[in-house]
Structure 1
């Protein structure tokens, strides 16, 4: 759940309250609401083959986890910030700039038993500016393969979320350790 959605909801509720009380309400967004708008990055997963659902879930996990950036599928005719491809090698990401690059969901790791959603979320983490943190525990998304094939955790930990928020300048972030649904609807 996201803080920006809570801010919009509170703004709308205040407008309705003022209107019912005879006051005037404006439809313009509050200044704080504009500051909390996420940076939207689009991704093209059309060449991700059998990993398409895992890619979409990896993007959704980042959208649930951070407020400063939002990953969306690219619209027809639009150029994507992130290209996602399937190949027979090892998963990897090539970042051109923060928020842009190419991700490969490699079948080699999948064949060895690594979880496709964790792979997707991990590789998208690189595009969002996170480095590998090896070796590392399963609780660290960016520990990647060093967590072992039994690790199915696709979620960034608090430090990883905070780093992405810092990378994208989120004005409003979820407090460390707070459950995703404790902040706002979104």
Structure 2
């Protein structure tokens, strides 16, 4: 019985493979994106800006995907609102805490740009100040009129490289987390 079941399973597996010139060909599958979960329950009035910032990164890169955390799970990224200046504390690549500070919002900075920028730090990107509005990581140096929440080609490529490989995870250099205050 055991041999017959094993033979049947083997035959079913072989029949399910596509054939090309009489040879079985295994289908190629792209490397899976590394899924990073975020908890925006503490982001107060900035919740929609946080979700939009995550969606922008999901539209922009393939090697990392930001998803809201499921109930009962521990998030890779915590996102909080406070009265200070926006900042991020990456603890390792794809993990850390983001604060969406009301001080910058009160000064007129765009909430979606802030969210996308701070998530960029968690994805391994440094500040690039001063910089033009076309650079997401130029942050506040682009000025209040800048509302661009999208990473440029170089920023996208850097995040893709950071998360290259099958659900890759390259550690952030340095053993001590560094607060990035924008």
TM over 0.5: yes
Alignment of 1:29-178 (within 5 A): 32-33=28-29, 35-169=30-164
Distance 2:62 2:110 in 1: 25
The question of whether the paired residues in 2 share the 8 Å contact of 1:130 and 1:160 is answered with: yes
- Structure 2 unaligned blocks of 5 or more: 1-14, 19-25, 167-182
Shift of residue 54, structure 1, vs aligned partner: 0.1
Aligned residues: 146
Residues 18-51 of structure 1: CA distance to partner in whole angstroms, max 9, x if unpaired?
A: xxxxxx5459xx6632x42100000000000000
Distance 1:127 1:31 in 2: 34
> Cα–Cα, structure 1 residues 98 and 31, in superposed 2: closer, same or farther, change >3 Å?
farther
> Cα–Cα, structure 1 residues 83 and 31, in superposed 2: closer, same or farther, change >3 Å?
farther
What residue is the counterpart of 1:174 in the other structure?
none
Residues 83-136 of structure 1: CA distance to partner in whole angstroms, max 9, x if unpaired?
A: 000000000000000000000000000000000000000000000000000000
Greater relative CO, 1 or 2 (CA 8 Å, sep 6+): 1
Q: Helix, strand or coil for the counterpart of 2:146?
A: coil
Alignment of 1:7-18 (within 5 A): none
The question of whether the paired residues in 2 share the 8 Å contact of 1:67 and 1:170 is answered with: no
Q: Helix, strand or coil for the counterpart of 1:89?
A: coil
Q: Helix, strand or coil for the counterpart of 1:32?
A: coil
Distance 2:27 2:80 in 1: 39
Report the TM-score, using the length of structure 2 for normalisation.
0.77
Radius of gyration: which is bigger? 2
Distance 2:165 2:106 in 1: 37
